[in-house]
Structure 1
Amino acid sequence: MTIRAVIFDRDGVLTYFDTGRAAADFASILPISIWELAKLWQQYGNVHGFPASLEAEEAFFRAFWTHVADLYALSPARREQLFALDYARYVVAYPDARRCLEFARQRGLRVGVLSNFSLASLDATLVAAQLADLVDVSCAATVIGAAKPDRAAYLAVTKALAVEPHECLFFDDEVACVEGGLAAGLRSYLVDRQATATDAAAGTVHDLDQVTALLDAALMG
């Protein structure tokens, strides 16, 4: 079976959110934790809708930060600090992510990212994580109008990559999303970074360094 592309989830697979740094930055601005802020974010998005374009995202952030600043009666100085924060700075690549993407590129594979991210600026986070130059296509749920494990999400990224689902390997850290990938026809694996060993036969890898062997096996198969 010919493999022409490899597709990755972002959070928990290629990158993680630096909560320690974010917590420290927000602690000097807001009287609530970043976890409480995340709840406000989700509630606000559920009511007003998450942005499907970069233009809409800019307006969304402006409105959300205004809502938060008003809610906690922030001073003008703290409002300015809040509005100046760029969330992308907290998106950090795992040490094995770039190695894995470079390996895929060296093998002539196209690389895609499929994320259930609720913002349109998925590309900006890949730039911040220093991975963007190795990614051919990135698809955020809010932009493509479908979220994993919906079949439409997988078909959107394979179409953008100009490949068929059966020509792809897919890696995600959520079981439901892996099952969705399998149902859509992609050869799918769970990335479990808490595991201590890879069990390829069971469809699980414990880090992205193990992906290289799977790619070589798939290309030789």
Structure 2
Amino acid sequence: MAIRALVFDRDGVLTYFALAEAAAFFRPLLPISIWEMAQEWQAFGEARGFPTSVDDERRFFAAFWEKERARHSLSPAQHEALLAFDYTQFVRPFADAEAALRQARQAGYRTGVLSNFSLASLDASLHAAGLAESVDAACAATVIGASKPQPAAYDRIAAMLMVEPHECLFFDDEPICVAGAQAAGMYACLVDRRRQDSDVAAGVIHSLEMVPAVIERLAG
């Protein structure tokens, strides 16, 4: 099988969210925990609809923080600080992410990111994590109107990378999304960072340092 493109999920594969730092940021601004705020944010998004563009995302956040201001009787200073919040400052790359993307590009592969992220600013988050320069195309579910494991999501990133699905090698940390990629015709590998080692033959790796080994096995 000739692989021409590598596609990665973002959360859990390329990046993680610095929860402790985010919790410290919100602690003086909200009388609830970050987990409770996340539940309110999810409910708000499901009721309103998650943003499908960067401009819509700005309106989304403004409306959400206004709702939080009224719900929790926040002060003007607290509300102003929330309006200035930029979630990308808490997006962190895994130590192996940048090298994996860079080496893939150097080896001649096109690189993509396919995420079920519910905000439109996927590109901005990749820039903040220092990964954007090594990514050819990025798709967020809310923008493209399809989410993993729907076939349309995988077809869309393949089209953006100008390859066929069967020419893609896909990496995700959720088994259902790996299965979805396989159903769409991609070769797919599970990334399980909780493991201490990889089982390349079984399509499971614990680190993106194992990407070349997956490619080698596929080529052999």
Does the pair score TM above 0.5?
yes
Deviation by residue 1:121-149 (Cα, 9 ceiling, x = unmatched) = 00000001000000000000000000000
Where in structure 2 are the equivalents of 1:50-129 lying within 5 Å? 50-129=50-129
Q: Per-residue deviation at 1:70?
A: 1.1
In 2, Cα distance between equivalents of 1:58 and 1:170: 31
Percent of residue pairs identical = 55
Count of aligned pairs between the two proteins: 220
CA distance in 2: counterparts of 1:215 and 1:20, whole angstroms: 36
TM-score by length of 1: 0.98
2:152 is matched with 152
Residue 191 of structure 2 contacts residue 205 of structure 2 at CA under 8 Å; is this kept in 1?
yes
The match for 1:48 is 48
Shift of 1:202: 1.0
Letter in 2 for 1:137: A
Structure 1 residue identity aligned to 2:121: S
Q: Partners of 1:14 and 1:165 in 2: how far apart? A: 21
Q: What are the ranges of 5 or more consecutive residues in structure 2 without an aligned counterpart? A: none
Amino acid at match of 2:42: Q
Residue 39 of structure 1 corresponds to 39
Pairwise CA distance, 1:216: 3.8
Alignment partners' CA distance in 2, 1:212 and 1:3: 12
Counterpart-to-counterpart distance in 1, 2:139 and 2:103:
21
* Contact 1:178 1:188 survives alignment (8 Å): yes
Check if 1:130 corresponds to 2:136: no
The aligned counterpart of 2:16 is: 16
Distance 2:39 2:89 in 1: 20
Secondary structure at 2:171 match in 1: strand
The answer on 1:29 being equivalent to 2:29 is yes
AA in 1 matched with 2:93: A
| Partner amino acid, structure 2, of 1:162 | M
TM superposition score normalised by structure 2 = 0.98
The amino acid of 2:165's aligned partner reads: P
Distance 1:98 1:213 in 2: 17
Following superposition, the deviation at residue 63 of structure 1 comes to 0.3
Structure 1 residue runs of 5 or longer lacking an equivalent are none
Deviation at 1:215, TM superposition (A): 2.5
Contact 2:7 2:168 in 1 (8 A): yes
1:162 paired with 2:166, answer no
- Give me the CA root mean square deviation: 0.8
CA apart distance, 1:167: 0.6
For residues 176 and 89 of structure 1, what CA distance do their matches in structure 2 show?
Answer: 29
Letter in structure 2 aligned against 1:132: A
The yes-or-no answer on 1:2 pairing with 2:2 is: yes
Residue in structure 1 matched with residue 178 of structure 2 by the alignment: 178
Report if aligned partners of 1:103, 1:212 keep a CA contact under 8 Å in 2. Answer: no
